[in-house]
Amino acid sequence: MNTFKSLLIVAVLGVVAYGTYALLTGGGRATDDTADEWAEVPRIAHPEFPKVVLPETAPAPLPAATAAVSATMPTVLPEVPTLAPPPPLADMSAPYPATPLTVQPLAETPANPPPSEVVTASGIAPQPTPNSLQATPAPAGPPVPAAEPANPAARLNPADFPIAFNSAQAQLTEGRPVDALESLSIWYGHPGLSAADQQSLVQSLDYLAGAVIYSRLHVLERAYEVQPGDTLDRIAQAYEVPWELLAKINGVADPQRLRAGDLLKVLHGPFNATIELDQFRLTMWLRGMYAGRFTIGIGQDQSTPTGEFSVLNKVVNPTYYGPQVVDADDPTNPLGEHWIDLGNRIGIHGTIEPQTIGRAESRGCIRLLPNEVQDVFDMLAIGS
């Protein structure tokens, strides 16, 4: 999602991408901009690549509250801040690589999008209104055994990467950022790419994921128009994402009290995560598109199990049951404030020992920094 120190959002003419301010689209009435926004889009924490932090600033209000904002993509990709002087971002135009990524503006979002560009309640299959997203989990059981699959990216020829990079630039200039994100996502983690190509790829993926997934640009789905009686729970359930994610993206203060006529950014889930134990890395995905990455802590002595797992339950302020019981909200609780249950006493949780991130020191679970586990918590739905 000081949360989700993993994905950046840039505001150029009102657009959000990683490393800068969030963008708001130009349609509909303003949602409550007093709500807690993502203090940071998922910060990218990876030992080889830069960490990107979004300023602690809420997005600008929607056009109904101020002058109209043009919903366009930036014309030049801003440089991603790093802890050390970065190499120049790879150019996605010919020749490869050279200057920073350049993109043409997307079509401006009209103040009142035509009906064909807005989804209303009739566009969502009827869903029961849940009391909360803490739905009753499926019966616990052993994880589905699965052999560790080979990295799909490894099947690609590294010599073709410059062509793919230039192709993604062409897709951006044609106003197709989703296609560009999909095109580059398949290269993520390719073992044959050079360090320079890896950095160019990840910086571009961070930028694209920020603009496509976490901004308020309606590039994944048509805007959803809130109908009388709608709640964010119901809308989020229909799109298979947690309501907390939609609340953060759209700046919604009270998920039970939406204003009819507001236009919301929506996206079809569910998100899923892959974990590379040898890299101490958790990567988020949305329908095959890269959606951010986090550095993790894992179990000592290879105690973290491998295989495929589903999210069985999610708990805020969990009680710790170990050699001793530690109550929820106890500052000494080793689970922190979030628990994502994967079954068989294995889960993803926060930590009160940040120095263990990037190391194998847990009792088998996956650890994340407190602000980052909250972001993952808000992205993974029960069943992910």
**CB burial class (10 A; 0-12, 13-18, 19+) of residue 254?**
exposed
- At residue 155, the pLDDT reads 84
Q: Which of 24, 117, 33, 139 is nearest to 72 (CA)?
A: 24
List the chain pLDDT tens, one digit each, 384 residues: 433 333 333 333 233 333 333 332 334 443 444 344 443 445 433 323 233 333 333 333 222 222 222 334 433 333 333 322 323 322 333 233 333 333 333 333 333 344 434 554 444 443 333 332 233 333 344 443 333 344 667 688 999 999 999 999 999 999 999 999 999 999 999 999 999 999 999 999 999 999 999 999 999 999 999 999 999 999 999 999 999 999 999 999 999 889 999 999 999 999 999 999 999 999 999 999 999 999 999 989 999 989 999 999 999 989 888 888 888 888 888 899 999 999 998 999 999 999 999 999 888 899 999 999 999 999 999 999
- At residue 348, the pLDDT reads 94
Chain position carrying tokens 């069985």? 312
User: What 3-state DSSP class applies to 197?
Assistant: helix
Instruction: Give dist(CA 138, CA 147) in Å, integer.
Output: 23
Residue 120 has φ and ψ, to the nearest 5°, of -110, -175
- At residue 134, the pLDDT reads 31
Residue ranges per domain, the chain? 1-145+156-295, 296-379
Q: Indicate the class that CATH gives domain 296-379.
A: mainly beta
Q: Angle formed by the axes of helices 161-173 and 177-185, to 10°?
A: 170
Instruction: Give dist(CA 233, CA 254) in Å, integer.
Output: 11
- At residue 151, the pLDDT reads 61
Chain position carrying tokens 């990218």? 44
Instruction: Give dist(CA 237, CA 239) in Å, integer.
Output: 5
